[in-house]
Amino acid sequence: MQMRAMVLEEFGGTLKLHSRQVPEPAPAEVLVQVVACGAGLTLESIRLGHLGGSTPRIMGHEYAGTVAALGAGVEGWQIGDAVTGSFYLFCGSCTMCASGREMLCSNNKGNIGARIDGAFAEYVVVPARNLVRIPTGVALREAGIIADAVATPYHIARERARIVAGQRVAVIGAGGGVGLHMLQVAKAFGAFVIAVERDAAKLVRLREMQLDALVDASVENWQADLVAAAEGQLDTCIDFVGTPLTTSTGLAALGRGGTFVIVGTLPGLRSDKNAVISAAPMYLINKELTIMGTRYATRAEIAHSLQLVRDGKVKPMIGASFPLAQAEDALEAIRRNQVFGRVLIDCTV
């Protein structure tokens, strides 16, 4: 049986529509019929070859669908089960995996959609151990943007920054597809949430969301506005942009005992050796500050993110939906920073 798939023929190229044989699951693998697949800047890094893997490659890492076939030896799943999953190819047996930190797997083989074929297709084969069940009450379409865009913020809130009710939390790059969900997750944890954004169109949309506070990062000295918005006590600053300006400003705006969390950096800065985070030792010491990195989420955190959505605490924000064959247009919209909300690829049309 044939399927439609969007293929990256070589790194740096564009996605092309191909007809491919529907893959067969090997032992310990599962074939998933894809309904929806989220898209964000991670894909741009994969497209440029920054996250490893090889070409030709079907991209797409954040998927939701139903189980269509089981490889030999797979237990616990049935045909028709609604599933999403982790896009990391973790081993499941190293010390990090055993301690529930599979995003730090010592034997990580890379990402679905980079190292192995992904979900910009009508079907995808994934390791059975990667799957997470989608609970009743969460639409498959919405589930297509939860496994990364909601789960990554959830991991930050629960495991890294450990946000507690009443804290002042700022999100730099709040208008991005993941930042918008970080705002909601931080709110669900009870924080006073400050959105920081510099794009004029996104600022207009953020204003409509009735957030606790909004800082326009296009103005000079927005650090003072950020400090004022937090009433001098910014507890946590979460940076999705990762430029020298955002990291230095966010760090300088922290209050006593504050935490700076770096989530991402623009694709062009990934290999820029000058893009460092720096702070004077006495500044960190006197305020007892913490600087931390964070990466992705565990399957348990994906499951909890799905529950948050089902319980109405977080609303998946799909900013634009593209048919599978127009996935390249979706990537172009992401590159141009044109979409307010996560981009969704509808793999059923």
Q: Encode burial over 307-318: b for 16+ CB neighbours within 10 A, e otherwise.
A: ebbbeeebebbb
Among 22, 91, 211, 333, binds Zn ion (CB under 5 A): 91
Q: Which stretch binds Zn ion (CB under 5 A): 96-104, 120-128, 181-189, 263-271?
A: 96-104
Residue 139 interacts with Zn ion (CB under 5 A)? no
274/158 Cα distance (integer angstroms): 31
Task: State which of positions 247-276 bind Zn ion (CB under 5 A).
Answer: none
Smallest separation (angstroms) from Zn ion to the CB of 170: 33
Exposure string over 145-155, b if 16+ CB within 10 A, otherwise e: bbbbbbbbbbb
Listed residue (240, 216, 210) closest to 229, CA to CA: 216
CB of 265 to Zn ion, least distance (A): 25
**230-249 footprint of Zn ion as x/- string (CB under 5 A):** --------------------
Tell the residue number behind the tokens 């049986």, with chain if given.
1
Q: Stretches 17-25, 87-95, 139-147, 321-329: which one binds Zn ion (CB under 5 A)?
A: 87-95
**Nearest distance, CB of residue 129 and Zn ion, angstroms:** 10
Q: How far is the CB of 297 from Zn ion (least distance, A)?
A: 15
Q: Would you say the C-alpha torsion 74, 105, 314, 327 has a positive or negative sign?
A: negative
**Contact code string over 309-328 relative to Zn ion, x by CB under 5 A:** --------------------
The token pair that represents 22 in the structure block: 């529907």
Cβ distance to Zn ion smaller for residue 246 or 298: 298
- Cα–Cα distance for residue pair 239/294, rounded to 1 Å: 10
Interacting residues with Zn ion (CB under 5 A) = 90-91, 94, 97, 105, 107
